Amino acid sequence: MNMDVPPTHQKEGFQPGLANDPVAHACGDPAELFERLRSELSRETVCRRNEPLARRTTLRVGGSADVYVEPSGEPELAAVMSIVRALNAPWIILGRGSNLLVLDGGVRGVVISLVNPGFASIESRDRSLICGAGARLKLVAMEAKRREIGGLEFIEGIPGSVGGALRMNAGAMGHSIFERIDRIRFMTSEGTIRERRGSDVDVTYRHCAFLERNIAIQAVLTGGFVPRAEIERRLKESNRKRWESQPAASSAGCIFKNPESIPAGKLVDELGLKGARVGAASVSEVHGNFIVNEGGAKARDVLGLIELIRERARRERGIELETEVRIIGSAQ
């Protein structure tokens, strides 16, 4: 087991079957894993060895993936799952990397990204949008406006993909995505495609355990009729609020879940930690629950700052802060 990451992160950071799982050591030779994937997947599927991940995350820190794959479609994704199962290799799905802290030692096993256009379609039917997991939430919100489907405005400001938002049960402006999910189409880790009603998926605040082992492929989001001008007004309003209250610099969004007693940003603010710094990572002066990369930060800087904040919150306020950002990979 990788002991480099503080145990406090293990709840978020070490999930069975994912790249950061202790079974990573059963992965064997990454070169063999790569060769097997490259030889069995089609040429349309992107498959690379030692792919840097920092540029694939909004925080822009962290090491490389042993193997990085962009399946060209569902059959190729199923083939990837079959190979990782055969080799007992860890795997993880990368969304838009907007809620992710990749550690400096990189990620063992296979990092799978659903950015191929085949996974990113957005189609409308009545008051619903049928969205691929790779579709960007901003584009989904734009399509909802075009089709006069109201109630989805809050997703405009979430800088992620549909799949990532489902996995995290992402939210903003007091709403979270599963409130708007009619059904999801997903692939099991055995490579079988299934469907489930949104209301039958257990979700909690910023978490969907079901999608730790199953891969969201598509989701049907629903709303009600709202005139385009009104949707436009709501979008402008949430956009304005966001620009006023959140930093524009590279970050992973909110670092901590809000504890019940106080919003994490307010707590960090009250602790006087805005502007606190470790290396090139600092607590945003705009919002206390954002850690920003001032340029050239390392994951260990961000992790150091997380620990510093947690320690102060524990010591001075008796509050145990839990990371919202997902921490993956190994520290060295």
**Residues forming the site for ligand EPU (CB under 6 A):** 172-173, 245, 253-254, 257-258, 263-266, 269, 287-289, 324
CB-wise, 80 or 264, nearer to ligand EPU?
A: 264
CB-wise, 47 or 172, nearer to ligand EPU?
A: 172
CB-wise, 11 or 266, nearer to ligand EPU?
A: 266
CB-wise, 87 or 254, nearer to ligand EPU?
A: 254
CB of 205 to ligand EPU, least distance (A): 7
CB of 319 to ligand EPU, least distance (A): 14
Q: How long, in residues, is the chain?
A: 332
- Which residue number has the CB closest to ligand EPU? 253
CB-wise, 182 or 269, nearer to ligand EPU?
A: 269
Burial of 39 (0-12, 13-18, 19+ CB in 10 A): exposed
Tokens 């930093």 sit at which residue?
247
- Residue 320: CB atoms within 10 A of its CB come to 10
CB-wise, 150 or 288, nearer to ligand EPU?
A: 288
The backbone torsions φ and ψ at residue 311, rounded to the nearest 5 degrees and listed phi first, read: -65, -45
CB of 211 to ligand EPU, least distance (A): 16
CB-wise, 207 or 228, nearer to ligand EPU?
A: 207
CB of 10 to ligand EPU, least distance (A): 20
CB of 35 to ligand EPU, least distance (A): 38
CB of 266 to ligand EPU, least distance (A): 4
CB of 54 to ligand EPU, least distance (A): 19
